[in-house]
Amino acid sequence: MLFRSVGAAALAALLTACSGNAPVTGDAQGGEAPKAGGTLRIASLQSDIDALDPLTGYTIDSWEVMRAVTRQLVTYRGSTTDIRDDTEIVPDLAKSWDVSEDGKTYTFHLRDGVKYSGSATREIVAKDFVYGIKRFCDPNKQVAAINYFHLAFSGFTEYCDAFAKVPAGDPAKSKEFIDAHEISGVSAPDDKTLVLKSDTKNYDFLPILSMNFVSPLPEEVASKYVGDSLEFRKNYPSSGPYEISSYEPGRALVLTKVKGYDHAGDPARKAYVDKIEVDFTTNTEDAVVQKIQSGDADLSLYLDTPPLATLQQFQTSKSANLHSSDSGAANFITINAQKGVDSDGVKALKDLKVRQAIAYAVNKANLVQAQGGKIAAKPNGQIITSTILGHEAYDPYATKDSAGDPAKAKQLLAEAGYPDGLELDAVYRVTAQFETIAVTLKEDLAKAGIELNLIAIPSAQFHPYLQDPESRWDIALSGMFAPDWQGPSTRMLLGGWLNSDAAPCGKGNVYAICYDNADLNELAAEAFPSDDPGPIWAKADKLVSDDLPWIPLFEKRKVVITSDHVRNWTWSSLAVGADLTNLAVSSAN
């Protein structure tokens, strides 16, 4: 099974199949077999990368880039067919692992001879993983998804509680604490052995370890800098097939393939191209698209969905450079449930009938069309999306053709005590896509007597604004998520974001959701150690989808346009987009 130990014979066969001194093979875009060499050029819509440190990176775009400069204990190969197909866990820096009889202890055996590049060049050893994990609680910069690890590692919570007492602002103080304290469930008996212990069995333990957070770092380098600071980025210790050869904030990031990279020791990343260049100076959607169409760039970064006109153009021409896949990502309306917030709108939203009224008022067909039609999105009425474990199609507030039901919404509002309608302050993130969503929702909800006062918030300020109890908002129209991995990633939503045991209300809570449902928490606790968690998650999904902790809008399909130069198109489960380490470019590039 996926979550048991890898047998020696199976592992040997796997590694034999994946070994070799140079990347080979794969069907290619344009009929040309992928070849090593060339430069992959990327045009970024955003003016800089949001994170490069595995500690803090938690966007699909940062993960797309970090795939090239980090490695983990285990990983995924990538998929040339569909994102949802990239679900097979394979050895990465760990060549094998053993699992205790009770499923609570994993012992990983590291590969020999794998070295860092960049600011460190020594061999990667087990204590580098221990150090990377011990950084997670640093008051200067905390790991982006810390809730996973409170359950994953024994002693982690106690360690973090003690670390929280260290004053922020001095990396030396953090190093001093890390060197003097241990996490009981994380140890390295020798250079090639890493032991990870949990208090409970977790069916998704290996996928949790596949995320970029659990990457090795050399303490002698990383401890000098605050996490993801400019100094850290300019002195980056790469464990992946590429190293950072230059970085100019707001202008460019250049990754160069490590000389003599050992392909036999990396079964998942073919690393075809010699160089990956990211241009941060192209900051409009039209400019990004023009660069790709002219061949000056090969693909985009931070372009969530290509403009509607571009999609139509690529579809009409039946272009081989248009790539689309189900992704499990979704958009939704967040409800302000923070303690102490008592606006009229927030008070109204505590009534389930008001939330149901909004669900019925939404014309999801309009939203899907505005995203680009069926190639880009599909209506959604539940919390778990189609690529996630536990998904069973369910929509408790369905309407004909997903076009909404204003009359039903008005009826529910009247029953809730709002016969003359309701006014809500609605914030949204300032991008072309989210502005379109906001305007569409304002028009459609008005038909049901729900008036939205739209408040535009710049992207960089959006999450801090939501998390501040003093901010003015009742609902947020720019809620979105992508699975942290495909398949058994349900913990992120029903065991994380919506689970008050794992994500209590307060600073750092994603989208300030602040949902508390004891029945959900109980089902999640039952699912985590289960050998068959799917039916438990399906039951939990129906429970919360009925209760509407947020209003589901649509499930997004990932759509990417590329230049004529790109070969061997490959999807990444973790990045929910391109696997840069398995793309190739034509000899003409």
- Same domain as 352, residue 248: no
Total residue count of the chain as it appears in this document: 589
228 φ/ψ angles, rounded to the nearest 5 degrees: 60, 20
Q: Give the pLDDT means over successive 10-residue stretches in the chain (589 positions).
A: 32 34 41 86 94 93 97 97 95 98 97 96 98 94 88 95 93 94 98 97 96 97 93 96 97 97 94 97 92 96 90 93 95 92 94 98 96 94 96 98 98 98 96 92 98 93 87 94 94 90 69 88 95 97 97 96 97 96 86
CATH number of the domain within which 213 lies: 3.40.190.10
Q: Say yes or no: 348 and 372 in one domain.
A: yes
Q: Is residue 13 part of a domain?
A: no
Task: Please report whether residue 295 resides in a domain.
Answer: no
Residue 252 phi/psi, 5-degree rounding, is: -160, 150
- Pair (499, 531) in one structural domain: yes
357 lies in the same domain as 460 = yes
Q: In what order do the strands lie in the sheet with 550-561?
A: 377-379, 550-561, 322-335, 475-481, 422-429, 450-457
The answer as to whether 367 is a domain residue is yes
Assigned domain for 3 exists: no
Does residue 206 lie in a domain region?
Answer: yes
Residue 509: the pLDDT is 63
- Alpha carbons 206 and 202: distance in angstroms, whole number: 9
In this structure, the answer to whether residues 468 and 500 fall within a common structural domain is yes
Q: Are strands 550-561 and 275-279 parallel, antiparallel or unpaired?
A: unpaired
Pairing assessment for the beta strands 275-279 and 39-44 based on DSSP bridges: parallel
Strands 105-110 and 94-99: antiparallel
280 and 329 share one domain: no
What are the Cα distances from residue 522, in Å, to 367, 497, 539, 547? Answer: 34, 15, 12, 16
Q: State the pLDDT at residue 26.
A: 38
- SS3 (DSSP) at 96: strand
**Is position 362 within any domain?**
yes
530 lies in the same domain as 571: no
CATH for 487: 3.10.105.10
Q: Write down the pTM of the prediction.
A: 0.89
pLDDT of residue 496: 87
Residues 504 and 576 in one domain: no
Task: Look at the chain and report how many structural domains it folds into.
Answer: 2
Q: Do residue 453 and residue 581 come from a single domain? A: no
CA angle 55, 558, 61 (to 5 degrees): 25
Q: 554 pairs with which residues across the strands?
A: 331, 379
Q: Would residue 8 count as lying in a domain? A: no
Specify whether 483 is located in the same domain as 406: yes
C-alpha span between 581 and 583 (Å, rounded): 6
Q: CA nearest 233: which of 57, 384, 24? A: 57
574 and 553 in one domain? no
The pairing of beta strand 322-335 with beta strand 475-481: antiparallel
131 & 218 share domain: yes
Q: Which domain holds residue 185?
A: 39-286+564-585
Would you tell me how many other CB atoms lie within 10 Å of the CB of residue 507?
9
Query: How confident is the model at residue 502, as a pLDDT?
Result: 81
Whether 159 is covered by a domain: the verdict is yes
